[in-house]
Amino acid sequence: MNLQKNQIIELVITSMTAEGSGVGKTDEGIAVFVPQSAVGDRLSVKILKTKKTYAFGKIESIITPSKDRKNPDCPYFNKCGGCVYRHITYDAEKKIKEQKVKDAVTRIGGIEESKIKTLISSDKFNRYRNKAQFPVGTDSDGKIMLGFYAFHSHRIIDCDDCMLQPEIFKTVMNITRDFMTETNQKPYDEATGKGKLRHLYIRYGEKTGELMVCYIVNGNGLKQEDLLVERLKNALPDLKGVVINLNREKTNVILGSKNRVAFGQGFIYDELCGLKFKISPLSFYQVNRETAEILYNKAKEYANLTGDEVLFDLYCGTGTIGLSMAKDCKQLIGVEIIADAIEDAKENARINNIDNARFICGNAFDTAIMLEKENIKPDVVVVDPPRKGLEKDLIDTIVRMNPDRIVYVSCDPATLARDLKIFAEQKYETQEITPVDMFPGTSHVESVALMLRI
């Protein structure tokens, strides 16, 4: 029997998708995806959408709960698209994430399961993030909404706290919401392209306590900016800067390319692996500082430096991974496409008295070709690409450069697995992969892999 929309069925959840949705099969073998369910749940499910071999549903009621369940501790969990695992124990979440890496790496990468180590968990389940970007809009009555997008949508969920963010962010959210209401300013409207404030963006140096508040504006600035700055300064003694980021484009991309400092300085410092790092608004910085240290230490262990090596840090951001290893190698070369991040990286080498580092702004592939032409040969290459992974041409270039070791830091197990397979076909064999949970509560999981030339 085919499933119909709005039909109510009984379903037992038997597995999870990579995105964190539970899956159960009907007697006819149709897979039904149910968000916020848990393996072992016996559910009454309402079918929302049907396809030939699968369907989407939502929980009508829980007939028998999974033993992994706990009460979600966030009032927005049902609406917000951020967390997917606040209804199960952290132990259960860790198992799911380890399995996600195992599934990808064995199925797509063809690598033996024994090479995947136990997932390293995050000490903090809540309030581990040091960065937030909140969209701003209005509800149908014109009331200011500031919070998060609903799952897979651009509908704003107004909220006054997020369990993943530091408490101090609440103060900034409230000041911003009140300021917009009192000064009667219209937020940006995606549909019409009118209105000023698009996003509130906050960055926090967890170790230093330094705070930067950034407003992403469709235009040059906000009305009565001085009043806003005054209120922020009064409420937040560690506020280092207020930055206006200009973004007039009709785009989903949050940040524009230009910044104007409205107060203080246009950056903060934080500390990681015993080093100090300058971080500007457009530069990437790991959002979970404590777990990033664990990840970087694992990468360092895999790099196994003795002091004689030329080390490449491709996709280096502000230079964090490479600089944390610079004292153990002969020369460090970092490559990154965002100019502000490279400026930060150079400054970060300087303030940490590291003088064997060279940072180049450019696309990883083009720059690797340039370095190849300069006849610079890396002994160890670290890569840390965005979710889409490495371009095949870059993999081929790295292989031609013939390093002894390659350390691959990845935020997407599927593209990691794809790339490890390509490396394996060119004599770089994966030795070990360690999953690291940088993002508790969400479906995301980081991994670091070591490849050796065979």
Active site residues: 411
Instruction: Select 193 or 386, whichever has its Cβ closest to ligand SAH.
Output: 386
Q: Which of 286, 410, 415, 430 binds ligand SAH (CB under 6 A)?
A: 286
Considering only CA atoms, which of 441, 393, 445, 389 is closest in space to residue 417? Answer: 389
Residues 381-410, one symbol each (x = binds ligand SAH by CB under 6 A, - = not), give: ---x-x------------------------
Q: Cα separation of 205 and 285, whole Å? A: 10
Question: Is residue 315 close enough to count as binding ligand SAH by CB under 6 A?
Answer: yes
Q: Cα separation of 321 and 311, whole Å? A: 11
Helix or strand run (H / E) with residue 280: none
Tell me which DSSP letter residue 186 carries. P
Q: How many residues bind ligand SAH (CB under 6 A)?
A: 17
CB of 62 to ligand SAH, least distance (A): 39
Question: Is residue 284 close enough to count as binding ligand SAH by CB under 6 A?
Answer: yes
- Asked if residue 349 lies in contact with residue 357, where contact means CB atoms within 8 angstroms, the answer is yes
Question: Is residue 364 close enough to count as binding ligand SAH by CB under 6 A?
Answer: yes
What tokens appear for 334 in the block? Answer: 């970092």
Residues shown for the chain: 454
CB of 284 to ligand SAH, least distance (A): 4
Question: Is residue 369 close enough to count as binding ligand SAH by CB under 6 A?
Answer: no
Q: Do the strands 131-138 and 42-50 form a parallel or antiparallel pair, or are they unpaired?
A: unpaired
Question: Is residue 337 close enough to count as binding ligand SAH by CB under 6 A?
Answer: yes
Which residues lie closer than 8 Å to 399 by C-beta, 6 or more apart? 423, 426, 427, 428
Q: Which of 12, 273, 338, 424 binds ligand SAH (CB under 6 A)?
A: 338
CB of 377 to ligand SAH, least distance (A): 20
Q: Which of 41, 210, 225, 336 binds ligand SAH (CB under 6 A)?
A: 336
What tokens appear for 18 in the block? Answer: 């990579």
Give the 3-state DSSP-derived string for 220-243, with helices as H, strands as E and coil as C. Answer: CCCCCHHHHHHHHHHHCCCEEEEE
Residues 185-204, one symbol each (x = binds ligand SAH by CB under 6 A, - = not), give: --------------------
Token look-up 């450069």 returns 401
CB of 73 to ligand SAH, least distance (A): 29
Q: Cα separation of 162 and 140, whole Å? A: 23
Q: Which of 316, 390, 407, 417 binds ligand SAH (CB under 6 A)?
A: 316
Binding site for ligand SAH (CB under 6 A): 284-286, 315-317, 320-321, 335-338, 341, 363-364, 384, 386
